[in-house]
Amino acid sequence: MIQSFEIKHFRCFKHTKVNGLGTINLFGGKNNVGKTALLEAILLMGEPYNDSIIRLLMQRRLSSDYLRSLPDTVWENFFYKQDTGQPIQLDFQNTQQQSYQIQLSISENIQEFVSMLPTNSNNTSNDLTNYLLADNKKSVITTEVFEAANKLKKHSLLASEIGMPSTKETIPYKLINTKFIPAVAKLTTEELAIQFGQAKLHKKIDKLLKAFQMIDNTIRSVDSIQIGKTSLLYLEKNNEKPLPINLFGDAMNKMADYVLSIINNENKILLLDEVENGIHHENQEKFWEMLFNLCNEFKVQVFATSHSQEMITAFNNVVKKNDFNGYYYKLAYHPIATENIVAQKISPDVLEDKIENHKPYRS
């Protein structure tokens, strides 16, 4: 697990430290205070390679047309105040006291990028090399990974009018297996069926069924059914025919994604943006209790964001009642050093007092 981390010059973060992390860490705060950006930074800590950078571009809904038309400005929004002259630095320490640092910087040396391209790739064709070395719009972002003072990996990604050639590895480079579930993410029924098949193979589907029954106690079974060439996830209620999961609303889809992401991936980090989406307030305490139990069983660490008072209250109640290893952090701009965002850890008793007495705890 990540024990502490530090973010410098990434997105809206000039310099922010977070210490004493637990199994589940919930971050609250006003809009545009960096909740999603914090999860993005943790994704890059766990999986510091080119595909993660591309995924973050896609999650921000930057179209391919935009990327191709303005390749010299593609990376700017990753950097604090769009200042690409100051490198991004992400540091973290895990519970085994291993320290890592990830640095992202903009390189003007196109020749170096060309020399780093795999020799067995079509990227090294003369046409591409000539294009890259020609005078046209392009920019390179370079990622370097260090353990203590030792450099472990260096790779680069180039934005250009013809796409994004890269020096990416054939095997993704991961320090910690990490999964990011964005606020608006929704897996297709086919994708869920594949995840379900993996859980079924390892005899873990009872965990998923219990999660569904927490939302609707009339559900008696869950299974994947193949129709033609497609496998779909189906739920069966008491005395009714099985129906595909997409007919049961977004809550079931979201719950399936959360649960399967944990039980199919031990020893990983799960990033949940706006975790309250789709979870009815009457089920939120049960949800947190289930999530803590699953994370403890499968050794998964969760970082989640929320601006819902009901979801934060439910989290706090469950932590207090069960003495779970979970913490709530309030993200806010520092009242004096106003350029800095601070993450204030609020104890369960203090958080309960703030909620009951309508004191600020989300801003």
- 70-104 pLDDT, tens digit per residue, is 888 899 999 999 999 999 999 999 999 999 999 99
Q: What is the pLDDT of residue 124?
A: 47
Q: Which residue has the tokens 């993005």?
A: 40
Question: Starting at the edge strand that comes first in sequence, how are the strands of the sheet with 88-94 ordered?
Answer: 13-18, 2-10, 88-94, 99-107, 138-147, 150-160
> How many of the other CB atoms lie within 10 Å of CB of 353?
13
- 39-73 pLDDT, tens digit per residue, is 999 999 999 999 999 999 988 877 777 778 888 88
- 298-351 pLDDT, tens digit per residue, is 999 999 999 999 999 999 999 999 999 999 999 999 888 888 999 999 999 999
Confidence band for 123, pLDDT divided at 50, 70 and 90: very low
Contacts (Cβ under 8 Å, ≥6 apart) of 226: 232
Cα separation of 166 and 38, whole Å? 25
Q: Where in the chain is the domain with CATH 3.40.50?
A: 22-43+265-363
Among candidate residues 248, 249, 221, the one with its CA nearest the CA of residue 237: 221
pTM over the 0.75 mark: yes
Cα separation of 215 and 242, whole Å? 17
> How many of the other CB atoms lie within 10 Å of CB of 262?
24
- 187-245 pLDDT, tens digit per residue, is 887 888 899 999 999 999 999 999 999 999 999 999 998 888 888 899 999 999 999 99
* Residues 262/265/270/275 CA torsion (nearest 10 deg): -30
Cα separation of 196 and 345, whole Å? 36
pLDDT, averaged across the chain: 89
Cα separation of 150 and 348, whole Å? 39
Which SS3 state, helix, strand or coil, does residue 334 take? Answer: coil
Highest CATH level, class, for 22-43+265-363: alpha beta
Residues 39-63: b if buried by 16+ CB within 10 A, e if exposed:
bbbbbbbbbbbbebbeebbebeeee
Q: What is the pLDDT of residue 350?
A: 94
- The answer to which of 113-122, 247-256, 283-292, 319-328 has the lowest mean pLDDT is 113-122
Phi then psi for residue 24, to 5 deg, are -120, 130
**Cβ–Cβ under 8 Å, residues 100 and 92:** yes
**Cβ–Cβ under 8 Å, residues 74 and 159:** yes
The tokens describing 168, both together, are 């990416």
